[in-house]
Structure 1
Amino acid sequence: MPETVVVDSAGAEMKLYQVKPEGAAKGAVIVIQEAFGITDHIMDICARIAAEGFLAVAPHVFHRSGDPLISYENMKDVMPHIMALNRTDVEADLTACFDYLAGLGFSGRQVGIIGFCMGGTISFFAGAQWELGAAVTYYGGGIVQGRFGLPAMLELAPTLKSPWQGNFGDLDQSIPTPEVEQLREAAAKAGVATEVNRYAEADHGFHCNDRSSYHEASSKEAWPKTVAFLKSHIQAG
């Protein structure tokens, strides 16, 4: 059953949406939201991850700016929350998640992270800062020029400490395919397992069935690859 827990993040209260698997969890996965909040899509991702045997937790990333739930068509209201993000707070929130999971017996390679859009950039950042079991990015931007208060992904790529999988749509004008290929090349030098999957008919947000850009075929092709990657690299608890 889904539940909400509250953790401390550098003196601020942060909610985690949590879904437990049936039986003992074989690891834990942090799910980082898009810029629209803990949406039905993010809750569904948590449920799907739990169904694979992992404990899933999704931090409310915008807890310092009102913790909104915003419609996918309303980018105007999203921007102030995105602009309020910074590296210090992101690191604090990730640390709070790791500390919470460590208290449940999951740490290091027993923990994975997956993120979508903004969350995909944050998950990549986490994979470069911590030695995790796996980090997965779905259409995370900021490859050449940093976004969300974080360094450019190209800057971080050679220092990846965690196995990383990237999933991108070729039709995504906000993340040009030449940049994706630059990232593929840079990440391959990191000394950890990396893979980049491109989907020729997919646009930004192709994995979210609540968005107009949802592309069913690409989504159904991508998800099994992600599950396999998580299971291959996250160490059993």
Structure 2
Amino acid sequence: MSTQKGGKQQGNWLDLTASDGHRFRGYEARPAGAEKGQILVIQEIFGVNNHIRNVCEDFAAEGYRALAPALFDRAERDVELAYDDAGIQRGREIMGKVTIDDALKDVAAGLAHLGGDGAAAIVGYCWGGTVAWAAAQRLVVRAAIGYYGGGIANRLDEAPRAPTLLHFGEKDHAIPLTVADSVRDRHPSVMVHLYPAGHGFNCDERASYDAESAALAKQRTLGLLRAVF
């Protein structure tokens, strides 16, 4: 969900503090008019980079206040990586230094900033898709949406406690289709959709971008958000 490529970003960086005292940054975009709802946007392994900031801007353009917490600040601050081999390698290294439990502390702080328990929905991409799934299991969110979160396969024992929507690519080289099948089998209330695309199909800065799949996933995402707010 990103149509702002090359456009001017209107959001602002702000400071957040987790329950363990960790201080980190977040990028927030607000709608021009009345807020329809609040969304926590969870990054890929590339940090809160241009694409993730544009995702926040897009949600703001749809009427939602959107905040992307810099979850990598626990390991390395101001991470903003490109979608190339070097960026992938570096992103994986940093991701390995941030546990899901620590990420959820920062997610909780972001949710508190957006109004507290149940006030905000959460949307995550790649690694962020797994974090969003974990947040739906452990925290109180309005709804959870995950794009190609491969780590979900390792977290199937607990059911999400909020309406949950997952997007996967049928041609994803990193996530086998058995992950989507396992979610459907274990948690039939979760909405799972497959697209004729590869990993990262939603990001218009990646070679794997698929405009039709991204548009359909956006339509379904906004549909769930309209239903819960």
TM-score by length of 1: 0.86
Equivalent residue for 2:6?
none
1:71 aligned to 2:82? yes
- Partner of 1:50, secondary structure, is helix
Name stretches of at least 5 consecutive residues in structure 1 with no aligned partner.
145-151
Secondary structure of the residue aligned to 2:221 is helix
Distance across 1 between alignment mates of 2:187 and 2:59: 25
- 1:170-216 deviation digits (Å, cap 9, x = unpaired): 1112111122111122121xxxx5211101x2000000010011111
Say if 2:97 is the partner of 1:84: yes
Asked whether the equivalents of residues 143 and 164 of structure 2 are also in contact (C-alpha less than 8 Å), the reply is yes
Q: CA deviation at 1:131?
A: 2.9
Runs of 4+ in structure 1 deviating by more than 2 angstroms, as ranges, are 107-110
| Paired residue secondary structure (1:108) | coil
Note if 1:125 corresponds to 2:163.
no
Q: How many angstroms does 1:71 deviate by?
A: 1.4
Letter in 2 for 1:160: P
> What is the match of residue 13 of structure 2?
4
Structure 2: 5+ residue stretches without partners: 1-9
- The letter of the residue matching 2:136 is G
2:108 paired with 1:95 = yes
User: What is the distance in 2 between the residues matched to 1:178 and 1:79?
Assistant: 23
CA distance in 1, matches of 2:92, 2:219: 32
**1:60-80 deviations in whole A, cap 9, x for unaligned?**
010022231111112221222
TM value normalised by structure 2: 0.89
Letter matched to residue 49 of structure 1:
F
Q: Select which of 193, 198, 205 maps to 2:200.
A: 205
**Superposition deviation, residue 4 in structure 1:** 0.9
- Distance in 2, Cα, partners of 1:46 & 1:208: 13
In 1, distance between residues paired with 2:156 and 2:25? 31
* Cα displacement string for residues 22-60 of structure 1 (whole angstroms, at most 9, x for unaligned residues): 223232100001000112211111111112221100000
2:157 match: 155
The residue type paired with residue 100 of structure 1 is H
In the alignment, does 2:24 pair up with 1:28? no
Asked if 2 retains the 8 angstrom alpha-carbon contact of 1:206 and 1:218, the reply is yes
Instruction: Give the length in aligned residue pairs.
Output: 216
Paired with 1:183 and 1:194, the residues of 2 have a C-alpha distance of 7
Partner SS for 1:109: coil
Cα pair 1:130 1:162 within 8 Å, conserved = no
Question: How far apart, CA to CA, are the structure 1 residues paired with 2:141 and 2:112?
Answer: 13
The structure 1 residue matched to 2:192, chosen from 196, 200, 211, is 196
Identity, in percent, stands at 31
Distance 2:27 2:140 in 1: 23
Q: CA deviation at 1:88?
A: 3.1
Give me the whole-angstrom Cα distance separating, in 2, the residues matched to 1:167 and 1:82: 21
Give the Cα separation in 1 of the matches to 2:146 and 2:82: 22
- Pair 1:183-2:183 in alignment: yes
2:54 counterpart SS class: helix
Question: Does residue 13 of structure 1 match 2:23?
Answer: yes
User: Aligned pair 1:136/2:151, yes or no?
Assistant: no
Q: Look up the SS of the partner of 1:168 in the other structure.
A: strand
Instruction: Give the AA of the match of 1:62.
Output: F
